[in-house]
Amino acid sequence: MAQDSVGLYSEYQFWMGKLSVWGQASSSETQQDICHHLPQFQEFLRQIYEVLKEMDSGTVIERFPTIGQLLAKTCWNPFILAYDESQKILIWCLCCLINKEPQNSGESKLNSWTRGLLSYMLSTFRFDIKEVGLCTQSLGYATADYYPGLLKNMVLSLVSELRENHLNGFNTQRRMAPERIRSLSRVCVPLVTLPDFEPLVEALLTYHGHEPQEMLWPEFFDAVNEAFLLKKTALSKSAITCLWLRHLPSLEKTVLHLFEKLIFSEKNSLRRIKDFMKDSLLPEAACHPAIFRVVDEMFRYALLNTDGAPEVLATVQVFTWCFIEALEIENTQLKFALKTYFPYASPSLVMVLLQDPKDIPRGLWHQPLKHISEMLRAAVEDQTQGSSGGPFESWFLFIHFGGWADMATSRL
Amino acid sequence: MESLLEQLQRFSEVLAVSRTTHVSSWDPATVRRALQWARYMRHVHRRFGRHVRIRTALERRLQNQWQQEDGAGPAAIPGLTNFRDLGHCDLLLSQRLLENRALGDAAFRCLLQQLFPGPGVRDAEEETLRDSLRLQDSLALLSRRRAAVHLLHVHGFGENSALRDDSLVKTQAALLLERLQEAGEADAEGPGRLLGSLGERWPQNSFLEVIAAALLLPSSTPRPPREELELGSPRTPGEGRDELVHWLLGKSDIMATFCRSLPAGLLTSVAGRHPELFQVYLGLLTDWGRHLHYDLQKGIWVGAEAGGVPWEELCGRFRSLCQAPSPLKDEVLSALEACKAQDGDFEVPGVSIWTDLLLAIESGA
């Protein structure tokens, strides 16, 4: 316990320093730093709340004399207020500061000050836009009535601007500056999990612009991918595919996340692996060869590093199975040649392997199996004469197709 | 039924009081009761949302009360004005109490306890706790959305302030239409009174801009989303728009300012959507044209009096109308042709303003 509070105290100092530097988040460097620290800061707020709720207000001030400053600085920071549940935890922390029976003027003053902060966060927001306030007040509306609508209109305006911009490719005058798109993607970082923002996040992900280099912030991609993995967003499949095509680390993280899920969940039936797999959207996204190749490459490493662990083998097979299914649904076979997915294999071998053995009558299994083994042998022998790949490549290709692999094993 | 109406009226009064200094006499028990009442009203909303007869009766009572509160138009005290407000009346009450510094310390502490039970259990069995957790989430969500609006307002639009203002005006327009419709349902004179009083309170230009935006909102635009599930049958804001057109047609001075001060492109869009307004606009434009005369020495059309519409502006407005798709364009051209014929059908410039306008439009198009 004592150790814990020492840890918390040094963290407290760290965040106090950060909050002072951040101020009101005006420069882009500060914003970047804030966005980078949002999840950790929320975790810290949660820890502080756990400590505060066990104490009375007097002890809180004794233990953390500058807690008021820390919470006030947090209240002024719009990025923190916009992030996930931070605003809620902050409210809880402020509630802990209120003294139930103020004994002296100092304590009453603190109560009144805390009350001011709470009221600021929940009703008389300092960042409110004056023009809107005047109009809505004279119409008899409260903030709860118009903020959702206002946010929706702002998001839609930006979405349509992005779309128009996309179409106005050659009109450099009306084009959105890349810095603006970049800054927009930064503003979205704390807000990717807010459903009102989904159309904007989707528009940014599918917007390519006209610059050769990436315009969106890496932190934005990280935040979207994290939200997707935690199921905190309902973005479309095509938006997620765009994300993985544009940001390799997100794709890699998703594959690793899948491995983790499969390794740490007990009793992995084939059905369960399949559910995890479909849930990950990876097989569907892999219809795009670039994504397929990355995922496949990661499988290769996993197999090599685990000496072909049965779990990994099963994962590869289920993935391939789901991928073929997705390919059939999307009917993209014509869009990309099989060679783009399996560059080292002969297309005729892949064609045979792609057939589900269950579709072939039991008595006729022998023929295609023999055909496959001949082609594999030819490929291996061919390798020895110096072309790319090796026996491993042939084996790696073969084990993708679980049905044939199982059948071959049963015949041995 | 009568007792329900009675309760509604009483709660509406509590809501009105919650913004005044009278809350200084509230003790923790009063706060708890007020919140309980709000919760009960939410249940009424949920229960009778699809019950047309009860709903209408409740709505009528709210409307009458609202009208009585302020004969001049909209109530200065935002309160329950329609059935839908019942769905989030606990949120309204909480916000008002939170910002009311007249509420005593003990009562305020009790309010915090009621509103923010802490992390709690997601699937709490007790209904009151569930309600509290839901309200806590709504308040936090509102706070998050405000931060989001602020971030977009400051960092999202860059140099494009027109686009930023556009979303503000559109939001105001949707709210205006909603109020107009409510006012119209309560009393035929309601919308006129409301607009008259708004015209006095708002800066003129923003008032006119909001009116124009309201006239242009697509009919399918849903109302601004609420925290609550919409239970009431949705009404289209179309009726509110009709009230607006009707009012503008009856106020020639405001209509003239409207047509004079808003940008040409915006007026063309409005004219394209509302044929009655288009006719008035066209009438005003031709009228303004008649007030110009040709200055032979300078070779330009000038206004007879100061404050008249200058030639460039008139020309710009006609040109903008002629860039609109038919039938707007055709009607404008045939009106100009008719005026030209009336003047004697001259083909040389500098004799009839209509000839010159037609030439300018042709050359500019």
Nearest to B148 among A121, A157, A194 (CB): A194
Q: Which two tokens stand for residue B275?
A: 């044929």
Nearest to B105 among A111, A153, A191 (CB): A111
H/E segment holding residue A308: none
**What confidence score (pLDDT) does residue B121 get?**
61
Q: For residue range A52-107, what is the model confidence (pLDDT) as tens digits?
A: 999 888 888 888 999 999 999 999 899 999 999 999 999 999 999 998 888 888 88
Give yes or no for B344 touching A (CB within 8 A): no
**What confidence score (pLDDT) does residue B224 get?**
45
Reported ipTM exceeds the 0.85 cut? yes
Torsion on CA atoms B342, B348, B353, B355, rounded to nearest 10: 60
**What confidence score (pLDDT) does residue B102 get?**
94
Chain B nearest-CA residue for A99: B109
**What confidence score (pLDDT) does residue A351 get?**
76
Nearest to A147 among B116, B136, B146 (CB): B146
Residue B79 has pLDDT above 70, yes or no: no
Mutate: best of B101, B167, B169, B244, partner A, most A CBs <10 A: B167
Give yes or no for B60 touching A (CB within 8 A): no
Closest listed residue to residue A195, CA positions, set B148, B48, B155: B148
Average pLDDT over residues B332-340: 92
Give the number of A-B residue pairs with CB atoms closer than 8 Å.
Answer: 201
Chain B positions in Cβ-Cβ contact with residue A184 (cut-off 8 Å)? 155-156
- Listed range (A202-216, B74-88, B175-189) with the worst mean pLDDT: B74-88
Residue A150 to residue B168, Cβ atoms within 8 A:
yes
Give yes or no for B142 touching A (CB within 8 A): yes
**What confidence score (pLDDT) does residue A174 get?**
64
Residue B167 to residue A187, Cβ atoms within 8 A:
no
Query: How far apart (Å, rounded) are the C-alpha atoms in residues A336 and A403?
Result: 24
Q: For residue range B110-146, what is the model confidence (pLDDT) as tens digits?
A: 999 999 988 866 666 678 888 888 899 999 999 999 9
Residue A184 to residue B156, Cβ atoms within 8 A:
yes
Q: For residue range B305-333, what is the model confidence (pLDDT) as tens digits?
A: 777 889 999 999 999 999 998 888 999 99
Chain A positions in Cβ-Cβ contact with residue B81 (cut-off 8 Å)? 140
Closest listed residue to residue A253, CA positions, set A261, A341, A182: A261
**What confidence score (pLDDT) does residue B72 get?**
43
Q: For residue range B273-316, what is the model confidence (pLDDT) as tens digits?
A: 999 999 999 999 999 999 888 888 888 888 877 778 899 999 99
Look at residue B3 and give its three-state secondary structure: helix
The shortest C-alpha distance from A203 to chain B (Å) reads 14
Query: How far apart (Å, rounded) are the C-alpha atoms in residues A78 and A80?
Result: 5
Chain A positions in Cβ-Cβ contact with residue B237 (cut-off 8 Å)? none
Spell A350-364 as b/e; 16+ CB within 10 A means b.
beebbeebeeeeeee
Q: For residue range A98-126, what is the model confidence (pLDDT) as tens digits?
A: 988 888 888 889 899 999 999 888 866 55
- Scan residues 34-73 of A and list those with Cβ closer than 8 Å to B: 53
Q: What is the mean pLDDT of each run of 10 residues along chain A (412 residues)?
A: 69 94 83 94 96 89 91 93 95 91 87 90 66 76 84 94 76 73 93 96 89 89 96 94 96 94 76 88 93 93 87 88 86 68 77 74 73 75 58 78 72 64
**Domains in chain B and their CATH numbers?**
1-115 (no CATH), 157-250 (no CATH), 263-364 (1.25.40.490)
Residue B78 to residue A140, Cβ atoms within 8 A:
yes
Residue B232 has pLDDT above 70, yes or no: no
**What confidence score (pLDDT) does residue A51 get?**
93
Q: Could you give the percent of chain B with pLDDT greater than 70? A: 87
Residue B92 to residue A156, Cβ atoms within 8 A:
no
Identity at B4, one-letter amino acid code: L
Give yes or no for A174 touching B (CB within 8 A): no
The dihedral sign for the CA sequence B42, B46, B49, B55:
negative
Residue A115 to residue B108, Cβ atoms within 8 A:
yes
Average pLDDT, chain B: 84
Mutate: best of A26, A145, A168, A204, partner B, most B CBs <10 A: A145
Average pLDDT over residues B334-359: 89
Cβ–Cβ < 8 Å for B299, B356: no
Residue A140 to residue B145, Cβ atoms within 8 A:
no
The total number of residues shown for chain A amounts to: 412
Residue B98 to residue A183, Cβ atoms within 8 A:
no
Residue B164 to residue A154, Cβ atoms within 8 A:
yes
Give yes or no for A121 touching B (CB within 8 A): yes
Chain A positions in Cβ-Cβ contact with residue B101 (cut-off 8 Å)? 115, 119
**What confidence score (pLDDT) does residue B229 get?**
36
Chain A positions in Cβ-Cβ contact with residue B198 (cut-off 8 Å)? 138-139
Cβ–Cβ < 8 Å for B237, B223: yes
